[in-house]
Structure 1
Amino acid sequence: MAKKRKHIETQPSVPLKKDESSTQRPKRTLLGWKDKVEEKEKDSPIFKNREKVLVTCSRRIKYRYRHLMLNLVSLLPHCKKDNKVESKESKGATLNELVELKNCSSCLFFECRKQKDLYLWMAKSPNGPSVKFLVNAVHTMEELKLTGNNLKGSRPILTFSTNFDKDPHWKLLKEIITQIFGIPKDHRKAKPYHDHVFVFSIVDDHIWFRNYQISVPHNETDKVDRGGLDKMTLVEVGPRFCLNPIKIFGGSFGGPTLYENPLYISPNQIRALEKRKKAGKYAKKIKAKTRRKMHEQSNPLEPDEFADMWKE
């Protein structure tokens, strides 16, 4: 028979004291260790750009201007497209609400009037500032059919002419453009490398926009070394447009006027002058006709001596 084991009296379990100096094990989540992630977010000195741009347009916009807006949407992966907005006096309040609902910090609003004139609003919401431009010399990607091509979602290199550092209003415009057109580094839709360039240059107090692809030779024997920019070339991609600044406001879509362009002439005034010139040509013709009649009446022709002979 098997022998019975001796019964050992169990001693009462004494709870172990936890060392205050020992660190507790962090809680684990689906994304990793919770405490470690929080510490990294708190201690990280890197600035994270959370810029988001709302892109929208007004109703009854022309197809050409709508294609320009869609080209910019394809170039800016950090933007959000929204439905059309009625271009009335209260458009500023509605646009600010849309920007807040979409969790954006900036807005590009394409406003078309009389199906002829295109105005572009660049605004920082909700505190401003905002700029109103008249858009001229519009050429979309579909019209140009250029040979350049860049990857969708890649980050651009922003280049500005030296004129932007002369006057304070140009410096302000440069800062607004860099914040709106500069794609954040760690954005989920953006690619982590650069393959095209946005060029902003000032000529005749107008801002001219161009988009170029950085083309590099891909042959293994002809690799480009670091700093070898001589072998790189720029090929234009598009689109093209020209911005004529009208006013800079202190708030978002309104507020106190910080700058007003003294050289700006509205397209309505230009069309009115052209009509007056055409009307002036017609008036000159009428004046010449009446002057000719008055001259004929004051200087009658002498009667022809041979007229009676011909009648007989």
Structure 2
Amino acid sequence: MGKKRKNAEASEAPKEEVAQDRPKRTLLGWKDGVPEKQNSSPVFRNREKVLVTCSRRITYRYRHLMLNVASLLPHCKKDSKVESKESKGATLNELIELRNCSSCLFFECRKQKDLYLWMVKCPSGPSVKFLVNAVHTMEELKLTGNHLKGSRPILTFSSNFDKEPRWKLIKEMIVQACFIFGTPKAHRKVKPFHDHVFVFSIVDGHIWFRNYQISVPHNETDKVDRGGLDKMTLVEVGPRFCLNPIKIFGSSFGGPTFYENPFYISPNQIRALEKKKAGKYSKKVKAKTRRKMHELSNPLEPDEFADLWKD
């Protein structure tokens, strides 16, 4: 057996090993002869994020509204307060870029009375400036609705949004361009189902926002079939607010003006008119009191011809 093994080893000739040519390396890696790595997740993932922040010296009520809006948007990022000055646009654009966001909701409070909302697509624009009225927070309303946090909302718009170009632009910013209220589908913090509705309706040139929970029966025997809308009910959750559009700009936080609301009256003008009206009324009341005091202090003498025709 030992001789056979030695003869077999001797009969086998040594084989020369030929080194393979090394593939050329490019800037994008080893391409020649190396199979490209296939993408493990071929599904498109929307990584749009919204920055939600406010200005300094904001009141507690408006701050609670901002926190309510941030709780409804699982793809948002919150940041510290920004000084409300003319240079806030450059500061916010830099902050948005550092936070890796594509859009912004900026709550700007002035004189601790008036609240303005900037809805901005960064860095190229457009941007819309609103005056916020009729503010009601979740804590204030104490509504009975309660949807799960992080679920995707259904966006509904009134038919007025398709009539004028300015409303079409605002609708596009809300839904697609910025994904401000339209939550991305494959976001890591978003739950893959719908259980509440965002309602945007136009009344008297203002956008009214409402948030409703989709309520269905809880018994297993009363399960709702797909498309069975007759058994579903809507319960309001909140918050509530009204947006009055002021201007639409071409770029981020400024630029050329695409639209200016001709019916917009600033809160300062409204307060000035109220003061003027209050001043006129107070002048009338003071004049009446002066007249009465004058009549009491200077009574008229009795007229000798007053009883002439009584007999």
The answer, yes or no, to whether TM exceeds 0.5 is: yes
Structure 1 position 291, deviation (Å): 5.7
**1:180-259 alignment runs, 5 A limit:** 180-259=180-259
Partner in structure 2 of residue 12 of structure 1: 14
Alignment partner of 1:121: what SS?
Answer: strand
Q: In 2, Cα distance between the equivalents of 1:304 and 1:233?
A: 80
Structure 1 position 76 matched with structure 2 position 73: yes
**8 Å Cα contact 2:196/2:213 also seen in 1:** yes
SS at match of 2:61: helix
| 1:114 equivalenced with 2:96 (yes/no) | no
Alignment equivalent of 1:64, drawn from 61, 65, 73:
61
1:154 is aligned to 2:154: no
TM-score, normalisation: structure 2? 0.85
Deviations 1:201-251 (A, max 9, x none): 001111000001111112121111111110111111111100000110011
Deviation at 1:289, TM superposition (A): 5.2
Partners of 2:34 and 2:111 in 1: CA distance: 67
Separation of aligned partners in 1, 2:55 and 2:34: 56
Q: Shift in Å at residue 296 of structure 1?
A: 8.9
Q: 1:115–1:17: structure 2 CA closer, same or farther, 3 Å change rule?
A: same
Q: Is the 8 A contact 2:45 2:187 kept in 1?
A: no
Q: Residues 266-311 of structure 1: CA distance to partner in whole angstroms, max 9, x if unpaired?
A: 11111111111111112223444566688899x9733799xxxxxx
Which secondary structure does the structure 2 equivalent of 1:120 belong to? strand
In the alignment, residue 114 of structure 2 is paired with which amino acid?
Answer: D
Gaps of 5+ in 1: 27-33, 306-312
Q: Distance in 1 between matches of 2:198 and 2:2?
A: 91
CA 1:15–1:3 in structure 2 vs 1: closer, same or farther (change >3 Å)? Answer: closer
State yes or no: 1:99 paired with 2:96.
Answer: yes
Match of 2:37 among 24, 35, 38: 35
Rounded Cα–Cα distance in structure 2 between residues aligned with 1:161 and 1:15: 76
- The answer to whether structure 1 residue 85 and structure 2 residue 82 are counterparts is yes
What pairs with 1:156-175 in structure 2 (closer than 5 Å)? 156-175=153-172
Q: Describe the SS at the equivalent of 2:275.
A: helix
Letter in 2 for 1:268: N
Q: How many angstroms apart in 2 are the aligned matches of 1:140 and 1:276?
A: 32
Q: Counterpart in 2 of 1:302? A: 301
State whether structure 2 residue 103 is matched by structure 1 residue 127: no
Identify if the C-alpha distance between structure 1 residues 300 and 69 changes in structure 2 by more than 3 Å, giving closer, same or farther. closer
Q: Deviations over 1:52-77 (max 9, x none)?
A: 10000000000010011001111101
Contact 2:196 2:212 in 1 (8 A): yes
Q: Deviations over 1:16-75 (max 9, x none)?
A: 899xxxx9785xxxxxxx7122xx66xx5x554221100000000000100110011111
**Whole-angstrom CA distance in 2 between matches of 1:201 and 1:301:** 66
**Cα separation, 1, equivalents of 2:296 and 2:72:** 70
Rounded Cα–Cα distance in structure 1 between residues aligned with 2:68 and 2:233: 23
Counterpart Cα distance in 2 of 1:3 and 1:223: 82
Moved more, 278-287 or 155-164: 278-287
Structure 2: runs of 5 or more not aligned:
21-31, 305-311
CA RMSD of aligned residues (A): 2.6
Identity of aligned residues (%): 76
User: CA–CA distance in 2 between the matches of 1:47 and 1:36?
Assistant: 14
Contact 2:211–2:239 (CA under 8 A) maintained in structure 1: yes
Give the Å deviation of 1:86. Answer: 0.1
Aligned partner of 1:284 in structure 2 is 284
Please list every run of at least 4 consecutive aligned residues from structure 1 whose deviation after the TM superposition is greater than 6 angstroms: 292-297
